[in-house]
A and B are shown apart, each in its own frame.
Chain A
């Protein structure tokens, strides 16, 4: 018995990136804020590129607290959806190439979301990563950390609870 030859790396990468792009860019609000996702294997980092329209306090200036909150919530939702999709892609249950605007996976719904604002958001790019602490059949709990220049100096963190999509998205 010989193991099947692994797929060429480029094919695997292309498939994963296409799946992520379909997931992220299918949501108008994510495009409005300009959020992008950087993928390393299954790990995602959300990037919020600075834009003048994201300012909430023009005197300081500082990012709008609501924008920070929205950025972390987007990171949590995409992080959770991606975790669900990843398992399905790897098992072959989902063909990411067939994903288009018409047949995107259903997204989890936010039940509640709590944000700690640790420092004021500086007028520059922000980053965030989500960690799924619990993902059950119906509910999930996700923690998100947001930072700007220094990874270990968080400017905001959040915890949210989510209702899982029916039939697992």
Chain B
């Protein structure tokens, strides 16, 4: 396993300003799989009546986690960017609970990385949201595929 790649990906993810603004924590990073979580925060509420977190905050978590999964993949280059991302919202996240996303880069070509992700709160048996997306594969300069 290429530890320097994982280390670099970890450093990059932990330096993302918006991930810091949401107090995201990188819980797991291995080849092509990432797990990132964030605490419940009142500033992220999308429905003031119920206190449920806004879907947009969940999509930030999903996108960050998807990008992390791509960067940790052995076939990936330096960075990545999202080409498209679809999110299905299955149920409202329970207010007060930490939200955790797990993304897997399940296929990678020379230019495109395909990713699936699932988000849960503390009730891990019932997902809050699922996502699928395509990400770019950035080639390292001077490295021919």
List A residues at the B interface (Cβ < 8 Å).
26-33, 52-59, 62, 64-67, 69-71, 73-74, 101, 104, 106-107, 109-117, 120
- Cα distance A107–B43 when bound, in Å? 17
CB contacts (< 8 Å) of B75 on chain A: these are none
Name which of B20, B42, B46, B56 has the most chain A CB atoms within 10 A of its CB: B56
User: What per-residue 1/0 map shows which CB atoms of B1-34 lie under 8 Å from chain A?
Assistant: 0000000000000011111110000000000000
Q: Which residue of A lies closest to B65 (CB)?
A: A66
Partner of A57, one of B53, B60, B79, B88: B79
Q: Which residue of B lies closest to A32 (CB)?
A: B43
- Cα distance A30–B21 when bound, in Å? 14
The range of chain B's interface size is 35 or more
Partner of A117, one of B17, B20, B83: B83
How near does chain A come to B77, taking the closest CB pair, in angstroms?
13
Knowing A52-B17, A66-B18, the reply to whether A112 touches B88 (Cβ < 8 A) is: yes
- Cα distance A63–B16 when bound, in Å? 10
CB contacts (< 8 Å) of A73 on chain B: these are 54-56, 59
- Cα distance A143–B85 when bound, in Å? 15
How near does chain B come to A157, taking the closest CB pair, in angstroms?
10
Whether B64 is near chain A, meaning CB under 8 Å from some CB there, is: yes
CB contacts (< 8 Å) of A58 on chain B: these are 15-17
Q: Which residue of B lies closest to A69 (CB)?
A: B59
CB <8 Å contact, A112 and B89: yes
5 CB-based A-B contacts, threshold 8 Å: A55-B16, A58-B16, A66-B63, A112-B87, A112-B89
How near does chain B come to A63, taking the closest CB pair, in angstroms?
8
Knowing A113-B55, A116-B84, the reply to whether A107 touches B47 (Cβ < 8 A) is: yes
CB <8 Å contact, B85 and A115: yes
CB <8 Å contact, A53 and B17: yes
Partner of B49, one of A32, A62, A104, A112: A104
How near does chain B come to A80, taking the closest CB pair, in angstroms?
13
Whether B44 is near chain A, meaning CB under 8 Å from some CB there, is: yes
**Given A27-B45, A57-B16, A65-B81; 10 other pairs, CB 8 A cutoff:** A28-B45, A29-B43, A31-B43, A54-B17, A55-B18, A65-B82, A66-B56, A73-B54, A109-B89, A113-B87
- Cα distance A113–B61 when bound, in Å? 14
Q: Which residue of A lies closest to B66 (CB)?
A: A65
CB contacts (< 8 Å) of B145 on chain A: these are none
Partner of B84, one of A53, A59, A115: A115
- Cα distance A115–B81 when bound, in Å? 13
CB <8 Å contact, B44 and A114: no
- Cα distance A21–B29 when bound, in Å? 42
- Cα distance A54–B18 when bound, in Å? 5
Knowing A71-B56, A113-B59, the reply to whether A55 touches B84 (Cβ < 8 A) is: no
CB <8 Å contact, B86 and A114: yes
CB contacts (< 8 Å) of B56 on chain A: these are 29, 33, 66, 69-71, 73-74
